[in-house]
Structure 1
């Protein structure tokens, strides 16, 4: 039997973690034969709720789970971890501006980065789910300088899954028949869902999505708006934010990081190296391929004027966010 992987989930008493923990525990992410130690972090006022989550995990009697640690101490939670799901963040409340959310979360992610820097494995693989995810990821990385920047990512897989599902529904095919949909930029309403390089398999024949849909206006308008505003639509209908789909996307993201993407690519927020003219140091969503637990940005895709404008707009928002967050850190 392999050594247990140490996996930390922050915000572990919250609703996203509630779905996420079960999927991780039963082997959906790290494999059906990989034992796990689960480290669950939340704030002190949530410890009673977190203890209830621990009881439920125990009651699932999942053989892969060898140990569960519930704590409000980041130094305990991040000790020697192999993988980190950074779900915990101050949620956006009614009347709250995005900048107010940024201010609250900068402090959380700065402190967690400092703890991770001291006690986590240098090989730890980190996905930030808590919003604003891209900028929180940048701050986390900045305050954990001993861990390679490539080990920090944020989740735009939910947006990719949403986009893929919209195309599949439009064309009347199953979701797995649509590949290489891209999310560029920020996990916000400025993100750019792009199907210019995507393919779909219909009746055994693989063709470009644009050729299958034959409706440029839909692709440039309704499709993009639906994906950009899907989170808000879920909140309006459910009176709560996306939890099940967010947890599934976080699992997809981490599973692909550990097991690879084959010939396809997936969207991940990663620290920009300047690819596609995006400012270095931003955590920007790109199409990536993953092999041997290492991601690389898909290069040399043709970018038309429409796409360039959308990509630059979301980069501008991220630049503004990051500058505000860095100023807050140093205040």
Structure 2
């Protein structure tokens, strides 16, 4: 049996972590032979809910999970970890200005960056999920100068997938036929999906997306609008 991998998930009592934790513990993320130690971090008012999550993980009897540590202490959560999933962040509430949201999250990810720098392994891999993910990842990395910058990743895959799907649907191919789509900016209505370097495989040929779509007005209009981070569908805001 391999040495256990120590994995921290923040915002661990929240809905995203609730789904993520089972996938990690079941071996879908690090493999079916990799034992794990899970450290679960959340704020103090969420500790009762977090202990409930721990009980449910115990009920799953996942053989890869050797230990679960629920905590509201960054020191305890980050000490000697190999991987961090930074899921927790301040959500944007009704009436909140974007600058206020950025200020609140800057405090969270400054603190977590300092703690990672002080307590985590220098080889730790950090995945930032909490929005605005790009900005939060930059802040966290800045305050963890002893950890390589390339070890920090902002998870904006939803926006990437959405842009790929729009192109694929327009052309009539599978999404995996579309390559090299780039998303600039945070998950928001001001983000910019860029296909200037993107290609698509059509009937065995690799073509630039502009050439395959043959509709510059759509790419520079509806495609950007639909791929925006805050879109409306059937009255629901995403």
Q: TM-score, normalised by structure 1?
A: 0.67
Structure 2: gaps spanning 5 or more residues = none
Query: Matches of 1:196 and 1:157 in 2, distance apart?
Result: 18
Per the alignment, residue 32 of structure 1 pairs with 32
Per the alignment, residue 326 of structure 1 pairs with none
Contact 1:155 1:187 survives alignment (8 Å): no
Partner of 2:38, secondary structure, is strand
Query: Matches of 1:236 and 1:51 in 2, distance apart?
Result: 36
1:108 aligns with 2:111: no
Q: 1:161 to 1:53 in 2, by over 3 A?
A: same
Q: 1:27 to 1:233 in 2, by over 3 A?
A: farther
Q: 1:235 to 1:50 in 2, by over 3 A?
A: farther
Partner of 1:40, secondary structure, is strand
Per the alignment, residue 99 of structure 1 pairs with 99
Per the alignment, residue 118 of structure 1 pairs with 118
Query: Matches of 1:165 and 1:60 in 2, distance apart?
Result: 35
Per the alignment, residue 131 of structure 2 pairs with 131
| 1:130 shift after superposition | 1.3
| 1:160 shift after superposition | 0.7
| 1:139 shift after superposition | 2.0
Per the alignment, residue 7 of structure 1 pairs with 7
Per the alignment, residue 221 of structure 1 pairs with 221
Per the alignment, residue 67 of structure 1 pairs with 67
Partner of 2:123, secondary structure, is coil
| 1:194 shift after superposition | 1.4
Structure 2 counterparts to residues 1-331 of structure 1, below 5 A: 1-229=1-229, 231-233=230-232, 237=236
Which piece of structure 1 moves more, 10-19 or 170-179? 170-179
Structure 1: gaps spanning 5 or more residues = 242-331
Query: Matches of 2:8 and 2:129 in 1, distance apart?
Result: 13
Deviations 1:201-224 (A, max 9, x none): 334443332222211111111111
Contact 2:189 2:231 survives alignment (8 Å): no
Partner of 2:136, secondary structure, is helix
| 1:235 shift after superposition | 10
Q: 1:211 to 1:28 in 2, by over 3 A?
A: farther
Partner of 1:126, secondary structure, is strand
Q: 1:44 to 1:92 in 2, by over 3 A?
A: same
Deviations 1:17-38 (A, max 9, x none): 1222222222222223222211
Q: Which has the higher contact order (CA 8 A, sep 6+)?
A: 1
Q: 1:113 to 1:193 in 2, by over 3 A?
A: same
Partner of 1:90, secondary structure, is coil
Partner of 2:188, secondary structure, is coil
Query: Matches of 1:142 and 1:190 in 2, distance apart?
Result: 24
Query: Matches of 1:20 and 1:65 in 2, distance apart?
Result: 14
Larger helix percent:
1
